[in-house]
Structure 1
Amino acid sequence: MTTSKIALVTGGSRGLGKSMALHLAQKGIDVLLTYHSQQAEAQATVAEIEALGRRALTVQLNAADPSSFDGFYQRVAEALPATFGASRFDFLINNAGTSLTVPIADTTEAQFDEMLNIHLKGVYFLTQKALPWLNDGGRIINISSATTRVSFAGASAYAAMKGAVEVFTRYLAVELGARGIAANVVAPGAIFGGGAMTDTPELRAYVSQLTALGRVGLPDDVGGLVAFLCTEEAKWLNGQRIEATGGMNL
């Protein structure tokens, strides 16, 4: 059996998830990453991880469809011994997601349900079903958003789900403490080059103006933090919300 730690990163084919996967590999952690439709990008990320000397594998996942999760974990259970020489993994990073910017007055029930399914229901049940496969002493890291602290017009449905995930994370910390599993939240600000949000020069200028460090956020600003939370140095962090925004709206 391997002595290497293994991280499962959802939405690891590009942007934030890819940065997380690469930073984890740089810390000597093997990576199982999921993708929804970007298989070629996911395979390219695997190649980069392998070039760093770590093992990696991709598994397809629709993080908004809990009915598919049993089948997903069955595929994971089959892949773990073959690729990693292990039967369980150590870190679960719930990163997969999409964004939505629509005023409350115009938000449809379908849009609301899409945010609910991928950002809350999906995270809740993907984590629940991960528990038998997660090693004692492991970590769960849920990705939230600065929009749970600072309100931006149009982000109500998205932010409401992220706020619920922050509450859920504290309950994970309480209920899984007996197994030595820590659960924390990382809340990025506006991240450009991550594939999820609109990227224009005007928007970059606006965000830079709001940020104490005077620039926009990039995937690598968050990927390293998530990897740190999977290290021994971060073992006493539990039930916390860590905002990574460069000081937005202070």
Structure 2
Amino acid sequence: MEHHNLPTEDLKTYGIINEDLTFSKKLSADDIQKFLQGYTIVADNDRNRATFQLTNNNTQLKVIFLERDKRLAEILEQSKEKVQYTDIKDLSKTPNEWNIEKKAFIFDKENSKTVEFDFIKNATELTAIIADQKDLQELSRYKAELQKLKNYRHDKIDQYPEIAKEIANDMNIVSRELNAVTRIAVEDKRINNSNSDVQLNVNDRDMYEDANRMRENEEQQLDEKRRFRR
């Protein structure tokens, strides 16, 4: 491989390349190509996660060590039964720093694998997938996790004025999803109530408009679900 300028000793230390300067066989050709283009390699082991990224024109290796609040094997197994939520802590930062990310692990039955979603980066897609389950209890669990994340970001915004704009943007994303979850929960309750009501007035204008809104919402969720399955 072409290895001029690459931080070869650091790459050897973490097993990304071998002594003969070939890349580890654990990495696919696509993984290697993306890594050289600046994408991050993620390595998981039990509660620990390490991320590796080439920076400064591929001359330096940025390494971040993270710790999740649950074992990976436990998350993967339990995700087959219901959505798993976990916090990931950046061990390079102190407890007083902004060091928590929140993830959701969802089992994709169609492809028989568990997929990880970030509460911020994959916010719209994650909400759509949770809503598509039509499970008010799960929706309530998800809403509670969103609220925790919003509270955490709120506590940090005054501590980091230099990145207050970034934190505020994250909070806006979480607030948007909280509002969406609330609307979805109300609509689902209306659906359940209307299904149990034997007297349905098809000429009721409010009911007609509500049905249209619910149909538009379901179509949007379906689009998001298709993205999830790709």
After TM superposition, the score normalised by the length of structure 1 is 0.31
TM-score of the superposed pair, with normalisation by structure 2: 0.33
Larger Rg: 2
Higher relative contact order (CA 8 A, sep 6+): 1
